[in-house]
Each structure stands twice: as C-alpha cells, then as structure tokens.
Amino acid sequence: MKTIAPKQLEQLERKWYVVDAKWLTLGRLASKIAVILRGKDKVNFAPYVDNGDYVIVLNCDKFAVTWKKLSDKIYYTHTGYLGWLKQSSLSSLLVKKPTKALELAVSWMLPKNKLRQSMISRLKLVNWVDHKFGAQMPEEIKL
C-alpha cells in the first residue's frame, strides 16, 4: 500500500460552504469550521499542505453560549507596555466587534504555524443572511 501525497496547490480545487450560525454553540461551531478550513474532512489530508475549503458564516453574531459565558469569559490583549494588560468580556466584545469572537475561536483551533494565516483568510464572516459570494455557488451545510 502506497501513501499518496496531496495535489499541488495550483491543481487544487477549493469548494465554498455556507453555515448559518444562528443558535449554534460557539465552541462546537468553531471546531467544525476549523476542520473544514484545514481540510481534515478530505481524503487527501496532509498536515503540511493547506488544502482546506472556503467557509461563509451567516449570522455570526447570533451564536449561543452556555452558562454565564457572556459575562465570565474574558479576552485579554496587551499593548506592549508594562502594566497595560486590557481585558474585555464576551458581551462587550460582541457589542464592539460582533464577528471577532467567532474569528478568535476558529483561529485558536487552527495550527500555530505559517499555514494559519492563509487558512483564516478563507473564513468569511457576515452578520446578516445575504452575502456577496453568490457567484462562487456555495453549498449550504448543516452543523
């Protein structure tokens, strides 16, 4: 039995998928999106090749969280100066940047290497039901 290496990037055909995030749990949604972006759902998966697909997420600010995560989950950012560690809760992050929470959750589930930026660039987050990617003929998937 031979191991088959995946196709080169110029021969690779990427599919487009649409996911409606309304009332889906944040962590479970992010993990399934990360699998599609990375290409682990394909037969020719290799960890050193970026062969994932595009994902369009509709209603990405209407996901659900369990327990008291809206007030208890804290996001930290550091400015680079001593003592300037900033923190914000999930509810305040959703008010300022509604798509940032889902983007961070998916980004933290992708591998921490040079392929991460190209994978996260294929994630398209939309706050409403209509999107401008109709020409790519995306397939709707239920998660």
Report residue 8 as tokens.
Answer: 């080169």
Contacts of residue 132, defined as CB under 8 A and 6 or more positions apart, other chains included, come to none
Domain count, the chain: 1
Domain containing residue 120: 14-66+98-140
Domain-embedded: residue 49: yes
What is the structure's pLDDT at 45? 86
Domain-embedded: residue 41: yes
Task: Indicate whether 118 pLDDT > 70.
Answer: yes
- Burial (CB < 10 A; 0-12, 13-18, 19+), residue 30, is buried
CATH of the domain at 34: 3.90.1180.10
Amino acid in the structure at residue 68:
K
Task: Indicate whether 7 pLDDT > 70.
Answer: no
Does the pTM of the predicted model rise above 0.85? yes
Contacts of residue 101, defined as CB under 8 A and 6 or more positions apart, other chains included, come to 26, 63, 75, 90, 93, 94
% of residues, the chain, pLDDT over 90? 82
Domain-embedded: residue 46: yes
Q: Which of 6-10, 26-30, 122-126 has the lowest mean pLDDT?
A: 6-10
Task: Indicate whether 9 pLDDT > 70.
Answer: no
Domain-embedded: residue 48: yes
